[in-house]
Chains A and B, each alone.
Chain A
Amino acid sequence: MLGYLIKRMLQCIGVLFCVSLVVFVIMYYSGDPVEMMLPPEATEKQVEALRHHLGLNKPFHAQYVSFLKNALQGDLGTSFVFNKPAVGLIVERIPATVELAVSAMVLAVIIGIPAGMYAAIRPASWLSKSIMTGSLLGISLPVFWLGIILVLIFSVILGWLPSSGRGETALLAGIRLGFPTKNGFLHLILPSLTIAIFQLALIIRLVRAGMMEVMLQDFIKFLKAKGLSERRIVFVHAMKNILIPVVTIIGLQLGNIIAFAIVTETIFAWPGMGKLVIDSIHGLDRPVVLAYLLIVSLMFVLLNFLVDVVYTFLDPRIRLR
């Protein structure tokens, strides 16, 4: 176990190093942020002075080395656009994104697993058929379109739900969260639904396929012969066997949602990390983009690790090595 942890740690450091280098190269060659920071009436001398102050006049390797030095001491730089430490800007937006991602995933899992199982066990019923058609739709609808349509229906036409923002938030253990307040909860519904629909469709299809396969296996026949109730067979024995791919997908997709909720966050003006990073890319705000991608990579590595650990509980044959 310890050896495994150390190996994972080293891998993680390698990944972070590669990410920082690639992002640094891309941002270095995409243009000069100083031109965008000063008004048109600024003189050439003022532009030079600011460039010098930010250290942008140095050659590439010098800039990268000084970035690495600072990064090892935990300083990922100060945003060019906001004049605030980049890590702080991102960290203060993590709760919003994670809250959105987790509530979307919970929604998808709560509905998706039972729906998929039902569709597998009663494939001929009209409900199963509509679940499958719906899931096909859910997979193919573009997120931005879905978001706008939901806003149009539920906010503009019906006026039931707020169209944007986070609404009221409450502090829970120092973290700003929306779902404990009624207003915040209402604000959470549309964006999490927008994200959940694709995930839901994915889980339904995955569960259904897995379930159908498992139900044909010998041990299920054996259990039936033994006289176990169908409910017990499906919810205990079959379910355990389909959960491995489902957990993998949930882990990966959760990472995906957190990192790439950008479209949904933009449509719903959700103050998460995605919106910040898009604005920062447009503003050539290198410290923020770098810090964001490093944090997201770290998160992916951790989530994958967690998924591996969960496997061992679901399937005792799997060992962490």
Chain B
Amino acid sequence: MKPVKLSVYFLIVAMGVLLLGSMTGAAQQTVIHGASSEPRSLDPYFHSETPTNSMNKNIYDCLVDFDSELNVLPALAETWENPDNLTWIFHLRKGVTFHDGTPFTAEDVKFSIERCKNWEKSGFKATVGQVQTVEVIDEDTVKITTKEAFGILPRKLAQIMILSKKFVEAHGEDYITDHANGTGPYKLKEWVKGDHLTLAANETYFQGAPTIKTVILRPLTNDPTRTAALLSGEVHLIDDVPVRDVDRIKTNREVEIASRPSLRLIYLQMDHDRVESPKIESPTGKNPLMDVRVRKAIYLGIDEEAIVKHVMNDFAVPASQFYPSAVFGYDDSIKRPAYNPEKAKTLLKEAGYPEGFAITIDSPNDRYVNDEKIAQAIAASLARIGLQVKVNAIPKKTFFPMTDRRETSFFLIGWSCADGDASAFLDGITHTYDKERGYGRYNRGRYSNPKVDALIEAASSTVDQNERLKNMQEAQRIALLEDQSIIPLHFQEDIYAKSKKLNWKPRADHYLWYYDMKFQE
């Protein structure tokens, strides 16, 4: 090609780029969200699943809400009180209307909670499992009684979105799968499944009209596609950015990464109660993990800083305890001890294992971010204090049933306190296993300490939040600091990427509230 022709060609290309660039300049009141997963249903009780709940929260309101750090805020209920440990009186906000104009009343609350409890397909039955009755006192007051004292009821109700009784009864159960009529900041405009879901601002929202007038959610489930859509300026925001794309996004001047620690703890459970454990070979023939000194040695012998840096590319935070600071029950006096292989070796010697022992660490390989690599890093780290660790990483379909059958001695697993309260972790993982009473369903190492059990039960038998906090913190202090019931590793981070023009901060629960978003002037 002659030089003249070449330059003409470049000129045309440059003009094309300029033209398209000016055309794609976004209208300042529309946010386009490239989502890694599409909501499944707009019926807010069908499946409890983050992308679905996240979308529905923009259309519906609950009696109470969480702020971005999971503190409880009033929403459709302005205030509430407890005449006794089993009774809750909620005073509803006046003058709120649904998107179709019908006023919101106590009848809607009763209808919603009962549908949530009784509808055959409800995915939220467990959330309201403790609710005994819902009574309408008058148009703006609801009385809820619980089977037992249930201090975290407001946190549970922050997940129960309120439907319009009239609307559901007029159109039927199936209609609301893809038609929505809530009280929230956005109305559903259009949903073409697999392609886009469009929301329009509810100008009469009770907290004030939203700044962003139109929201378009585009499901871009394929990772490279999502990243490409952001880089080419077709979307303003993407979630679940793969770690390998982070560097590429950082080189683009129009966009930036936004990340924050999620609620998910990655941790290790250990066999506490069997003298002969299936996957351990120790010189004494016994299960060394029953000795607290050995458990502490393992905690001190894992170089978590290195795992976060090299395995997680810094998109994780070393964990000092069972839950991150956004969770009610967090104890800021607990710090993670520094990596100390020397002290770990001394502890092992004191416990009678100067030569260490052989153990297998089981791990899923398709559930958590870099799960298998973390297990390998742990094995390498523990080799330096004299343990021979074999890694067995398997798909989650086989891994979870295996831990349930307890065919493991030492395994890597995760937990997320989705309702922002420590009780789920303490009830499910720290309390002694008790099938009848529903405790310890995930306590698959069978840690047990009656003192801790008493504290956990005391915490759940009151609605006094200060009392609950005190008991829960004490329970964690004993279980973690004295008994080393589990070994915390790190909290995963949620990674998002967005246009630099969009002002928005990620929330602890990974929900996207378009109401909080704003474009720079």
A interface residues (Cβ-Cβ under 8 A, vs B): 31, 37-43, 46, 49-50, 53, 81-84, 89, 92-93, 96, 148, 151-152, 155-156, 158-160, 162-166, 169, 176, 266-269, 271-272, 275-276, 279
Q: What would 17 more interface pairs be, CB under 8 Å, given A38-B48, A83-B43, A163-B234?
A: A37-B123, A38-B126, A41-B126, A84-B174, A92-B193, A93-B193, A151-B224, A151-B228, A155-B228, A155-B234, A163-B225, A163-B228, A163-B229, A163-B232, A267-B222, A269-B225, A271-B194
On chain A, the residues within 8 Å of B177 by CB distance are 82-84
Instruction: Please state if B231 and A156 are interface contacts (CB–CB under 8 Å).
Output: yes
Instruction: Please state if B48 and A39 are interface contacts (CB–CB under 8 Å).
Output: yes
In the complex, which residue of chain B has the Cβ closest to the Cβ of A49? B120
B interface residues (Cβ-Cβ under 8 A, vs A): 13, 16-17, 20-21, 24, 40-41, 43, 46-49, 120-121, 123-127, 129, 174, 177-178, 192-196, 218-222, 224-225, 228-229, 231-234, 397, 418, 424, 428, 438, 442
On chain A, the residues within 8 Å of B40 by CB distance are 81-82
Shortest beta-carbon distance from A296 to chain B in Å: 17
Shortest beta-carbon distance from B21 to chain A in Å: 6
Sample 6 A-B pairs with CB under 8 A, ordered by A number.
A39-B48, A49-B120, A159-B17, A163-B234, A164-B228, A279-B221
Partner of A41, one of B192, B234, B424: B424
On chain B, the residues within 8 Å of A84 by CB distance are 174, 177-178
Partner of B41, one of A46, A83, A162, A163: A83
In the complex, which residue of chain A has the Cβ closest to the Cβ of B222? A266
Instruction: Please state if B120 and A39 are interface contacts (CB–CB under 8 Å).
Output: no
On chain A, the residues within 8 Å of B221 by CB distance are 266, 269, 275, 279
Of listed A38, A162, A163, A166, residue having the most chain B CB within 10 A: A163
Cα-based distance from A289 to B500 in the complex (angstroms): 41
On chain A, the residues within 8 Å of B46 by CB distance are 83
In the complex, which residue of chain A has the Cβ closest to the Cβ of B159? A39
Shortest beta-carbon distance from B115 to chain A in Å: 14
On chain B, the residues within 8 Å of A268 by CB distance are 225
Shortest beta-carbon distance from B285 to chain A in Å: 36
On chain B, the residues within 8 Å of A38 by CB distance are 48, 123, 126
Instruction: Please state if B234 and A164 are interface contacts (CB–CB under 8 Å).
Output: yes
On chain B, the residues within 8 Å of A93 by CB distance are 193-194
Instruction: Please state if B219 and A46 are interface contacts (CB–CB under 8 Å).
Output: no
In the complex, which residue of chain A has the Cβ closest to the Cβ of B178? A84
Shortest beta-carbon distance from B230 to chain A in Å: 9
Partner of B218, one of A96, A158, A269, A275: A269
Instruction: Please state if A165 and B196 are interface contacts (CB–CB under 8 Å).
Output: yes
On chain B, the residues within 8 Å of A165 by CB distance are 195-196, 218, 220, 234
On chain B, the residues within 8 Å of A156 by CB distance are 228, 231-232
Shortest beta-carbon distance from A290 to chain B in Å: 19
On chain A, the residues within 8 Å of B228 by CB distance are 148, 151-152, 155-156, 163-164
Shortest beta-carbon distance from B232 to chain A in Å: 4
On chain B, the residues within 8 Å of A42 by CB distance are 123, 125-126
Cα-based distance from A279 to B38 in the complex (angstroms): 11
In the complex, which residue of chain B has the Cβ closest to the Cβ of A154? B232
Cα-based distance from A96 to B193 in the complex (angstroms): 11
Instruction: Please state if B234 and A269 are interface contacts (CB–CB under 8 Å).
Output: no
In the complex, which residue of chain A has the Cβ closest to the Cβ of B235? A164
Instruction: Please state if B232 and A176 are interface contacts (CB–CB under 8 Å).
Output: no
Instruction: Please state if A39 and B126 are interface contacts (CB–CB under 8 Å).
Output: yes
Cα-based distance from A131 to B221 in the complex (angstroms): 36
Known: A156-B231, A158-B13, A159-B17. A269 touches B222 (CB 8 A): yes
Cα-based distance from A23 to B438 in the complex (angstroms): 38
Q: Nearest 4 A-B pairs (CB), nearest first?
A: A271-B194, A271-B195, A155-B232, A39-B48
Cα-based distance from A46 to B120 in the complex (angstroms): 9
Instruction: Please state if A39 and B123 are interface contacts (CB–CB under 8 Å).
Output: yes
Cα-based distance from A127 to B120 in the complex (angstroms): 67
Partner of B125, one of A46, A81, A96, A166: A46
Instruction: Please state if B193 and A89 are interface contacts (CB–CB under 8 Å).
Output: yes
Of listed A41, A82, A160, A275, residue having the most chain B CB within 10 A: A41
On chain A, the residues within 8 Å of B194 by CB distance are 93, 96, 271-272, 275-276
Shortest beta-carbon distance from A305 to chain B in Å: 30
Shortest beta-carbon distance from A169 to chain B in Å: 8
On chain B, the residues within 8 Å of A96 by CB distance are 194-195
Cα-based distance from A279 to B221 in the complex (angstroms): 10
Instruction: Please state if B120 and A159 are interface contacts (CB–CB under 8 Å).
Output: no
Shortest beta-carbon distance from B467 to chain A in Å: 23
On chain A, the residues within 8 Å of B196 by CB distance are 165
On chain A, the residues within 8 Å of B47 by CB distance are 37, 81
Known: A152-B228, A271-B195. A160 touches B20 (CB 8 A): yes
Shortest beta-carbon distance from B65 to chain A in Å: 19
Cα-based distance from A225 to B17 in the complex (angstroms): 56
Cα-based distance from A169 to B47 in the complex (angstroms): 30
In the complex, which residue of chain A has the Cβ closest to the Cβ of B129? A43
Cα-based distance from A165 to B32 in the complex (angstroms): 12
Cα-based distance from A39 to B222 in the complex (angstroms): 24
Cα-based distance from A67 to B107 in the complex (angstroms): 39
Shortest beta-carbon distance from B73 to chain A in Å: 23
